[in-house]
Amino acid sequence: MFFGQDHFFEELFCICIQLVNKTWKEMRATQEDFDKVLQVVREQITRTLALKPTSLELFKTRVNTLNYSEILKLRQTERLHQEETLAVPVLELRERLKPELLELIRQQRLLHLCEGTLFRKISSRRRQDKLWYCRLSPNHKVLHYGDVEEGVRSPPIESLPEKIPVADMKMLLVGKECPHTKEKSSGKQNKDVLELAFSVVYDVEEYCLNFVAPTRYEFCLWMDGLNVLLGKEMTSERTQTDLDVLLSMELKLRLLDLENISIPDTPPPVPKPPSNLNFCYDFS
């Protein structure tokens, strides 16, 4: 790289000063962040040089590819390696814990459905003053629902006259697939409704119970809970978030006793069996 140019250091300086400007914009830096920007640029240059590029053009291409977001990802990965959360035994433990924690999330979703949620009705006149409540029976076999008055927080199951047996539920529709969103025209309000709309198809695909969740959080919990009732996987983004949090907490608890002890990538060798097994106490 050095002997390929007549004015190597001048050319290298031009590439690096352009990199400073590029990184400055990516970091949205201010004057107080000058030292932070230079630290990132230093890291970009040293990491690229460590790859041993054979020409200045190759160096320029690689150093510009290694932008600020890539540097952050590399730092995060290295930090995880330092904490040994990416060690092979820890990753195996993580996989073993997943089914247990997913079951915990499933139970939480079903409990939330048993508590129930207050939904607003979307009418053709765009009046949203009517409310209805839906909740799952404690034995997870029936969905109870019915109209409620304003101010009612958690009506008892007995006061909800309508019901759908879970065994009759066929499938779950989301967003544009729902019958109550197909007739709606475009617009910001309807776009918000589309993101929170879902329908339960029951009987012989003739009847639908249509929902519009009050919040994205409620939407995720109901989608997961209904998928559990239908025997399907939980697919909402909330599931992955909850699983990551629980896995992180559980791993930290399990690894507390191993603090400052290096975890080997491979298990230690099994010792040879003893020459004889006559060391046991003879009860006879």
Mean pLDDT of the chain: 83
Q: What is the mean pLDDT of residues 222-244?
A: 90
Q: Are 209 and 145 in contact (CB under 8 A)?
A: yes
The answer to whether position 203 is within a domain reads yes
Which has the higher per-residue pLDDT, 227 or 128? 227
The number of folded domains in the chain is: 2
Looking at residue 177, which CATH number applies to its domain? Answer: 2.30.29.30
The answer to whether position 92 is within a domain reads no
Burial (0-12, 13-18, 19+ Cβ within 10 Å), 64: middle
Q: Are 171 and 201 in contact (CB under 8 A)?
A: yes
Residues 72 and 121 in one domain: no
- pLDDT (0 to 100) of residue 253: 85
Residue 252 has pLDDT above 70, yes or no: yes
The answer to whether position 230 is within a domain reads yes
46-64: per-residue pLDDT in tens?
999 998 988 899 999 999 9
Residues 77 and 111 in one domain: no
- pLDDT (0 to 100) of residue 259: 66
Residues 118 and 16 in one domain: no
Residues 80 and 123 in one domain: no
Residues 128 and 199 in one domain: yes
Cα–Cα distance, 17 to 118 (Å, whole number):
58
Residues 111 and 15 in one domain: no
- pLDDT (0 to 100) of residue 182: 66
The answer to whether position 210 is within a domain reads yes
The answer to whether position 278 is within a domain reads no
Residues 39 and 133 in one domain: no
The total of other beta-carbon atoms located within 10 Å of residue 117's CB is 19
Q: Among 84, 119, 145, where does a domain finish?
A: 84
Cα–Cα distance, 81 to 75 (Å, whole number):
10
The answer to whether position 95 is within a domain reads no
Token pair listed for 22: 């590029």
Residues 124 and 235 in one domain: yes
Q: Are 86 and 80 in contact (CB under 8 A)?
A: yes
Residues 109 and 200 in one domain: yes
- pLDDT (0 to 100) of residue 81: 59
Residues 120 and 187 in one domain: yes
Q: Give the confidence band of 266 by pLDDT, cuts at 50, 70, 90.
A: confident
Residue 148 has pLDDT above 90, yes or no: no
Among candidate residues 67, 68, 91, 70, the one with its CA nearest the CA of residue 81: 91
The answer to whether position 258 is within a domain reads no
Query: In which domain, by residue range, is 197 found?
Result: 105-239
Residues 233 and 112 in one domain: yes
Q: What is the mean pLDDT of residues 182-200?
A: 69
Residues 64 and 113 in one domain: no
The total of other beta-carbon atoms located within 10 Å of residue 278's CB is 7
Q: Are 77 and 70 in contact (CB under 8 A)?
A: no
The answer to whether position 65 is within a domain reads yes
Q: Among 239, 255, 273, where does a domain finish?
A: 239
Cross-strand bridge partners of residue 201: 171, 208
